[in-house]
Structure 1
Amino acid sequence: MGLLSLAIWTPIFFGAVLLAFGRDEHANAVRWVALIGSLVSLAVTLPLYANFEIGSAAMQFVELAPWIDQFNVNYHLGVDGISLWLVLLTAFITVIVVIAGWEVITQRVNQYMGAFLILSGLMIGVFASLDAMLFYVFFEATLIPMYLIIGIWGGPNKIYAAFKFFLYTLLGSLLMLVALIYLYTQSGGSFDLATWHKLPLGASAQTLLFFAFFAAFAVKVPMWPVHTWLPDVHVEAPTGGSAVLAAIMLKLGAYGFLRFSLPIAPDASHEWSGLMIGLSLVAVIYVGLVAMVQQDMKKLVAYSSVAHMGFVSLGFFVFNDLGVSGAIVQMIAHGFVSAAMFLSIGVLYDRVHSREIAAYGGVVNTMPKFAAFALLFTMANCGLPATAGFVGEWMVILAAVKYNFWIGALAASALIFGAAYSLWMFKRVYLGAPANDDVKALKDINGREFLVMGLLAVMVLYMGIHPKPFTDVMDASVAELLRHVAISKLN
């Protein structure tokens, strides 16, 4: 079993053990097993970075074994500079979510922790799959644990939100399945992605494939106008569910564009890039304006996620190194920042049981340590220099200016809207005199919460101050992807 198999199956194994043997009367033991499982799962991903050959665009840590022989489906794994950091991010966020739910979850603790560990393994499987059918199996399987997390531990309208999440993402994926079957027939019976990247497809076939993949991946990102499921799901999901959904699950769709849409349908990607850029700018600007009028903190951060992911899709379709690298950096940075924002809201919700901005005011007076963390994460959400939120957005804006000045100018306007809704929320929730008795009675964060906030703060600052380790890993893979797309365009 190679490193990637260990990264996928270690959390799934621990999750299965928790589901089989965990009981609420042994909740404390269940939590420790979950923590050990998540830490071991993180530990087995670290050698991937330590042994990664920087400067190579080739797939590394490749594993290949037959799976379903009669259809030529293989258990084929590998990572490159595009997927490596997403694997590490998934394992890291899983540790954070397990610690964050330590005291908060008191019912069905084994099922809660087990679902997150299994989900972690499945998402790493998506990022590591080099066989299209294996990718599809992992991609769809991620829906099941997240559906249960929302439907069991969510808020009052959890069933509605869980169904909406499931149906939106499943329906989009069905068109992708049709595209996969078509490509299987065109390639002479192969599901190998590298083979598909070399297929000489006609213009009409590429266009149909592009929109089939768009249906699956745009819903997952989510891009405007298929983003409406996300705020409802975030509002109803438990804090850990919101953190994982925003930090990692949205990245599955963005990653799909890089693995399927751009290399398999390069001509169609160029032809429809104007549409993709337009939809991205609508997400960045219009959805940013929608975020400003939200009264629910979770809804505000959910809409801000749609706006931030708009930078990701914008970066992909300006077709230059800076844009694609910036978009991938933005994916990773958004993972840290959005998880931190949702977990911060969770800290307040656990104490006051309200997500309404109007229920707070003057929190800094009673929770000064927590308010300091919240200020850092809010600034990162605005895109303040020296935080993770700045690097990717700045790279994408520069790339957009290089592509077209006015597109870059429109994208840059999002920094103003981001600062407006983020700082306005911070002002109303944290600053001023204590607004009511609930706020006066608040206790500052305990050691467990401080650990969660501290780990995320370290990553937000490290990535903002020293992004070179992140960009070095992806440079060669991004250059190779763009070279492939450009050559196809010339042909």
Structure 2
Amino acid sequence: MSGVMGQVLLVAVLAVPAAGAAVVAALRHDRIARLVGTVAAGLTLLAALPLVAGGDDGGAGSDANPAVRPWHQVDLPWVPGLDLRFHLGVDGISWPLVVLTALLTLLCCGYTLWKVPSGGSGRALVALLLVVEVGILGTFLALDLVLFFVFFEVVLLPMYAIIVGWGGPDRYRAARKFALYTLLGSVLLLVGVMVVVTAAGTADIVALTGGTGLSRGPQLAAFTLLALAFAVKSPLWPLHSWLPDAHTQAPTVGSVILAGVLLKMGTYGLIRVAVGVAPEGAEWAAPVLGVLAVAAILVGSLVCLAQTELKRLIAYSSVGHMGFVLLGVATLTGTGLRAALIGNIAHGVITGLLFFLAGAVKDRAHTGDLADLSGLRETAPRLAGLLGFAAVASLGLPGLAGFWGEAFAVIAAVRAGGPLWLTLAALAALGGALTAAYLLRLLRQVTHGPASSAVARVGPGVARAELLTWAPLVLLTLAVGLAPILVLGVAQAPVDALLTGRP
């Protein structure tokens, strides 16, 4: 694919959902607006997929720093007086996340054609979903730190509006908590960006990768600020307490976007920006990151064992899964970073499916209390079977997507060597066993036993629209599990370059 075509597709990936949101907001007919929004999301996915083909091996990456060589990039003046540029690019680290974002947004918009949650119009919901998509995609594509910050912030208000407009009975408190935590992370991110830009004299991520232009002191300060900011967004223990409330109160499509891709903004930023721009700071903080990662794995798993509400349990499971991602990053090895990247994708696909299924169960049974959901396989065997599939994928069964990230994060910790990392690897493996325990407990409570009165109202059928929405996630769980090269193949070279500074 030619460089010009790649640039066109890069711009289209952001322009199409932005234009779609504007058109959807302007239309008066609700169903037509939802259909237009779904078409815009579909076109965004079609624009994102071909970005893996061809690409420019030179460009800014070869002139400034060979550690980052985008496949395709757009680099235009943005604020010339401040030397800020509208610099977008995609490579093997960002492309899988771009495709995942486009896919989940398409599935969520398509889902609204069948069912709109109570609280507001479907037109407004789809428009907000598309705006969130623009912010997330821009975060993954931005190669200028200030532009990265701008896109990072775009997500806040529309996601807040989604929770408040279509959420559960305690949505206002959950939305306020989400906003306050996110604003805290935003302040830390802005200060961190200013530290880097002031010390290095540039905001270009390509030029900054490898710590170019930054002495040790600014790197330590910048990494601390950036890591804390991204920890809030991910979220990583102990800055995670906004997540369960937001997930529990958000509508189904909001929970899917939150878990599937919004959390990945934090872990992606940790790899691309924090580790890439301040490698000395990352090496200095690596043991602390490793300890916090294992704490998140263990605490998340133990808290899940105590949960009695379906969506809240799935929400807390994200804390543990993101702990495995952080453990991979903390090792600062190729194996660890690749484990983090495939763990990001696997978590997005599997947890997105879990939240779709949890929403379907709650809509039918009118409760999310695990004690009231027993016997689901007796009345809704298809739904129970899909829930079982998603649960065993989430616990890391070999052959499914969830296995690779968690297994190789532990292996990376073992290979890091030394008493600390071997201890962390052993504790992380114990956390994996606890993950299996709480997910198998979930299945025993929900699918087995006699049907409760709430589950007795659940019909045996699954709507065609639901199957169309869930099928791509089921297939991706199998595909990534059986052929992890789909993610690891494109990520290997840029990860190695990020760590070594060599193309």
State TM-score, norm by structure 2: 0.92
8 A Cα contact 2:195 2:218, kept in partner: no
Matching of residues 272-291 of structure 1 within 5 Å: 272-291=285-304
The alpha-carbon distance between structure 1 residues 54 and 440, as it changes in their structure 2 partners (threshold 3 A), is farther
Paired position in structure 1 for 2:44: 41
Match status 1:268 vs 2:268: no
Match status 1:456 vs 2:473: yes
1:389 Cα deviation from its structure 2 partner:
0.6
Q: What is the CA–CA distance in structure 1 between the aligned matches of 2:37 and 2:336, rounded to whole Å? A: 38
8 A Cα contact 2:56 2:70, kept in partner: no
After superposition, what is the alpha-carbon deviation per residue over 1:182-235, rounded to whole angstroms, capped at 9, x for unaligned? 3222233x2211222343433332221111102210101111110001001111
After superposition, what is the alpha-carbon deviation per residue over 1:45-93, rounded to whole angstroms, capped at 9, x for unaligned? 1111233589996112110111111111111000111111000000001
After superposition, what is the alpha-carbon deviation per residue over 1:268-315, rounded to whole angstroms, capped at 9, x for unaligned? 211111110000000011211111100111111111001000011110
Paired position in structure 1 for 2:334: 321
Match status 1:312 vs 2:318: no
Match status 1:408 vs 2:432: no
Match status 1:78 vs 2:89: yes
Match status 1:425 vs 2:425: no
Matching of residues 82-161 of structure 1 within 5 Å: 82-105=93-116, 107-161=120-174
8 A Cα contact 1:366 1:444, kept in partner: no
8 A Cα contact 1:3 1:61, kept in partner: no
1:13 Cα deviation from its structure 2 partner:
0.9
Query: What code does the residue aligned with 2:222 have?
Result: L
Q: What is the CA–CA distance in structure 2 between the aligned matches of 1:347 and 1:235, rounded to whole Å? A: 14
After superposition, what is the alpha-carbon deviation per residue over 1:323-351, rounded to whole angstroms, capped at 9, x for unaligned? 11011000000000010111100001111
The alpha-carbon distance between structure 1 residues 135 and 413, as it changes in their structure 2 partners (threshold 3 A), is same
8 A Cα contact 2:142 2:148, kept in partner: yes
Q: Secondary structure at the match of 1:32?
A: helix
The alpha-carbon distance between structure 1 residues 413 and 447, as it changes in their structure 2 partners (threshold 3 A), is same
Q: What is the CA–CA distance in structure 1 between the aligned matches of 2:302 and 2:111, rounded to whole Å? A: 31
How many residues in Structure 1 have an aligned counterpart in Structure 2? 481
Q: What is the CA–CA distance in structure 2 between the aligned matches of 1:417 and 1:262, rounded to whole Å? A: 30
Paired position in structure 2 for 1:488: none
Q: What is the CA–CA distance in structure 2 between the aligned matches of 1:53 and 1:467, rounded to whole Å? A: 25
Deviates more, 1:199-208 or 1:459-468: 199-208
Gaps of 5+ in 1: 486-491
Which of 283, 296, 300 is matched with 2:313 structurally? 300
Query: What code does the residue aligned with 1:5 have?
Result: V
The alpha-carbon distance between structure 1 residues 306 and 470, as it changes in their structure 2 partners (threshold 3 A), is same
8 A Cα contact 1:263 1:484, kept in partner: no
Q: What is the CA–CA distance in structure 2 between the aligned matches of 1:336 and 1:243, rounded to whole Å? A: 9
8 A Cα contact 2:52 2:71, kept in partner: no
Q: Secondary structure at the match of 2:308?
A: coil
Q: Secondary structure at the match of 1:295?
A: coil
Deviates more, 1:475-484 or 1:405-414: 405-414
The alpha-carbon distance between structure 1 residues 301 and 271, as it changes in their structure 2 partners (threshold 3 A), is same
After superposition, what is the alpha-carbon deviation per residue over 1:435-459, rounded to whole angstroms, capped at 9, x for unaligned? 2254244342110111122221101
Q: Secondary structure at the match of 1:102?
A: helix
Matching of residues 435-474 of structure 1 within 5 Å: 435-436=452-453, 438-474=455-491
Matching of residues 217-296 of structure 1 within 5 Å: 217-296=230-309
Deviates more, 1:109-118 or 1:98-107: 98-107
Match status 1:192 vs 2:209: no
Q: What is the CA–CA distance in structure 2 between the aligned matches of 1:99 and 1:352, rounded to whole Å? A: 23
Q: What is the CA–CA distance in structure 1 between the aligned matches of 2:478 and 2:57, rounded to whole Å? A: 23
The alpha-carbon distance between structure 1 residues 187 and 267, as it changes in their structure 2 partners (threshold 3 A), is closer
Cα RMSD after superposing both structures: 1.8
8 A Cα contact 2:339 2:406, kept in partner: yes
Paired position in structure 2 for 1:15: 21
Matching of residues 346-357 of structure 1 within 5 Å: 346-357=359-370
Q: What is the CA–CA distance in structure 2 between the aligned matches of 1:132 and 1:139, rounded to whole Å? A: 10
After superposition, what is the alpha-carbon deviation per residue over 1:224-257, rounded to whole angstroms, capped at 9, x for unaligned? 1100010011111111111100010110011111
Gaps of 5+ in 2: 1-6, 59-66
Query: What code does the residue aligned with 1:11 have?
Result: P
Paired position in structure 1 for 2:69: 58
8 A Cα contact 1:57 1:476, kept in partner: no
Q: Secondary structure at the match of 2:172?
A: helix
Q: Secondary structure at the match of 1:449?
A: helix
Deviates more, 1:259-268 or 1:274-283: 259-268
Percent identity reads 35
Q: What is the CA–CA distance in structure 1 between the aligned matches of 2:70 and 2:40, rounded to whole Å? A: 27
Q: What is the CA–CA distance in structure 1 between the aligned matches of 2:292 and 2:110, rounded to whole Å? A: 37
Q: Secondary structure at the match of 2:196?
A: helix
Match status 1:480 vs 2:477: no
Paired position in structure 2 for 1:489: none
Match status 1:374 vs 2:374: no
8 A Cα contact 1:390 1:464, kept in partner: yes
Paired position in structure 1 for 2:63: none
Query: What code does the residue aligned with 1:76 have?
Result: H
Q: Secondary structure at the match of 2:245?
A: helix
Deviates more, 1:308-317 or 1:172-181: 172-181
